[in-house]
Amino acid sequence: MALEHALLVSLTEHSGSGYELARRFDKSIGFFQSATHQQIYRVLKRMDESGWVDAEVVAQDGRPDKKVYRVSAAGRAELERWIAEPTEPNHLRNELAVKIRAAQHGDIAALTAEVARHRDGHAARLEVYRMIEKRDFPAPDQLSGAALHQFLVLRGGIRVEEGFADWCQEVLDALAQ
């Protein structure tokens, strides 16, 4: 997935300045697509040059003017084309899995600590996702449209984090024997 497509998705949900988009991105799509604020600004410039977004300059009191971006008709057409394009299933690339496979050649105590750190990280992200689910989707059976689509992506994130946290605990249990 190109960053352009992730930004188009975010902008279809809510227009905004590069700064606003970067902050929102960190709290939503950023869980699935990483990007620095500088990358977001560079890509927004390219998207503007390609005609995928329209930028409106908005004056601000006591601060520099800001550009507020909205998806253009060409951007919506690109998003529609991209959504219809086949996507290959992701293959798991996990450095921790390779380290576990090579455990007999290393320090088991250090590896165990690393697996526990990963478990804790996945558990922490899982809690964030569950908090978002509780806060933003209290009645999932009543969802439709964009809210349903956002909920389904969040549920995917929950399932992934549950799986990784459980797997790390399984590894820890096995290494403890």
Own/partner long-range contacts of 160-163 (Cβ < 8 Å, ≥24 apart) = 161/122, 161/123, 161/125, 161/126, 161/129, 162/126
The mean per-residue pLDDT over the stretch 77-84 comes to 96
The mean per-residue pLDDT over the stretch 115-141 comes to 96
pLDDT at 109 over 80: yes
- Residue-wise burial string across 141-163, b where 16 or more C-beta atoms lie within 10 A, e elsewhere: eeeeeeeeebbeebeebbebbee
Q: What is the CATH number of domain 3-84?
A: 1.10.10.10
Under a CB-based contact definition with an 8 Å cutoff, are residues 38 and 44 in contact?
no
Dist CA 141 CA 137 (whole Å): 9
Dist CA 65 CA 18 (whole Å): 12
Amino acid at 84: A
Q: Where are the beta strands (DSSP E) in the chain?
A: 16-17, 53-60, 63-71
% of the chain residues with pLDDT over 90: 75
Q: Look up the pTM and report it.
A: 0.81
